[in-house]
């Protein structure tokens, strides 16, 4: 038995086929730039436009920042390992990657729940929305999101740091994965989000006019689409039969976590939201001058 302490890990990556690595590199590079630039554009548009300084868009701003951190903590290292034959990551870099990745996943889940609550208040209590979702409430909600995310990440990273890695240092993945993690957080956030949308749907159905129902649904449709895209791989991960589990399939699910969802978030919110479209146009107009 090899009792030497592991100082670095060998990452096998997405595939062992060299002929596929070039294609995967182009796909990941392009998608990362779309995710990074798309979310950065949302950040600039919201910060730059005073008309977007509302609770809904402040939460969207936080989500965009979290998505940037999520993709940047994983994807650049994937791209680097695809370019070299030495596919390694140091112990310290691996632990840092684990901390920021679990932080971003935890923050994203709690943010989705917070955004669902914001839409619940907007649709179910429209006349009291400004009073309920005031500046103090926004700061309190975002502070709770960050606190839960940091605690969640510290617990996971702290438990991993207590382990002694010896023997084989090969990881059959493209990052260190914590498999039995976030179950309570994911189930709790998903349940609260579903409860919020049950109240939202009930409130929409009580609206008498078709135009009123359409406007009410349009205020939460983007968030509903993004939540569905995010929780689909999460639900698949936890309810799939053990007999269907494979490392290759798990890598695909992890790719959805780290790349696809953060890429689609800015696209969904920008294409389906007139206020965001107006804010982005102002940014481009400012850059032209």
What domains, with CATH codes, occur in the chain? Answer: 13-288 (1.20.1070.10)
Among 38-42, 137-141, 242-246, the least confident range: 242-246
Range of weakest confidence among 9-23, 46-60, 73-87, 241-255:
241-255
Per-residue pLDDT reduced to its tens digit, 68-117: 998 998 888 888 888 777 778 888 888 898 899 889 988 988 999 999 99
Residue 1: the pLDDT is: 39
In this structure, the chain runs to a length of 289
Token pair in block for residue 41: 């554009």
With a CB cutoff of 8 Å and minimum separation 6, the contacts of 116 are: 192, 193, 196, 197, 200, 223, 227
- How would residue 245 be classed by pLDDT, with cut points 50, 70 and 90? low
Query: Which residue's structure tokens are 């260190």?
Result: 176
- The pTM of the full predicted model, rounded to 2 decimals, is 0.84
Determine contact, residues 232/198, Cβ cutoff 8 Å: no
pLDDT score for 2: 45
103-136 residues labelled b (16+ CB within 10 A) or e (exposed): bbbbbbbbbbbbbbbbbbbbbbeeeebeeebeee
In three-state secondary structure terms, 281 is helix
Residues 190-226: tens digit of each pLDDT: 888 889 888 888 888 888 887 777 877 777 777 888 8
- Predicted local confidence at residue 258, as pLDDT: 72
User: Could you give the strand order of the β-sheet that contains 88-90, starting from the edge strand earlier in sequence?
Assistant: 88-90, 8-11, 170-171
Within a 13 Å sphere around the CA of 93, how many CA atoms are in the beta-carbon half?
A: 14
Chain segment 252-279, per-residue pLDDT in tens: 666 766 777 888 888 887 767 788 888 8
Q: What is the mean pLDDT of residues 2-6?
A: 57
């Amino acid at each position: 038995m090899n009792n030497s302490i592991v100082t670095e890990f060998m990452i096998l990556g997405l595939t062992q086929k060299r002929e596929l690595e070039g294609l995967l590199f182009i796909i990941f590079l392009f998608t990362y730039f779309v995710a990074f630039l798309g979310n950065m554009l949302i950040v600039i548009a919201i910060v730059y436009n005073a008309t977007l300084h509302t609770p809904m868009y402040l939460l969207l701003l936080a989500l965009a920042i979290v998505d940037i951190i999520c993709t940047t903590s994983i994807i650049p290292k994937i791209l680097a390992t695809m370019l070299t034959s030495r596919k390694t990551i140091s112990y310290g870099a691996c632990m840092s990657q684990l901390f920021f990745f679990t932080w971003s996943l935890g923050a994203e889940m709690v943010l989705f729940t917070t955004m669902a609550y914001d839409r619940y208040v907007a649709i179910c209590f429209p006349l009291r929305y400004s009073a309920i979702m005031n500046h103090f409430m926004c700061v309190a909600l975002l502070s709770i999101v960050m606190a839960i995310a940091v605690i969640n990440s510290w617990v996971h990273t702290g438990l991993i740091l207590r382990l002694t890695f010896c023997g084989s240092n090969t990881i059959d993945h493209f990052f260190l994965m914590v498999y039995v993690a976030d179950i309570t957080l994911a189930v709790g956030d998903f349940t609260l989000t579903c409860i919020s949308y049950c109240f939202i749907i009930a409130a929409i159905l009580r609206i008498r006019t078709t135009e009123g129902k359409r406007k009410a649904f349009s205020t939460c449709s983007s968030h509903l689409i993004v939540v569905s895209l995010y929780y689909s791989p999460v639900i698949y991960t936890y309810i799939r039969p053990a007999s269907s589990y494979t490392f290759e399939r798990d890598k695909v699910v992890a790719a959805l976590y780290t790349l696809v969802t953060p890429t689609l978030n800015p696209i969904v919110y920008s294409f389906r939201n007139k206020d965001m479209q107006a804010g982005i146009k102002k940014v481009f107009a400012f850059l032209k001058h």
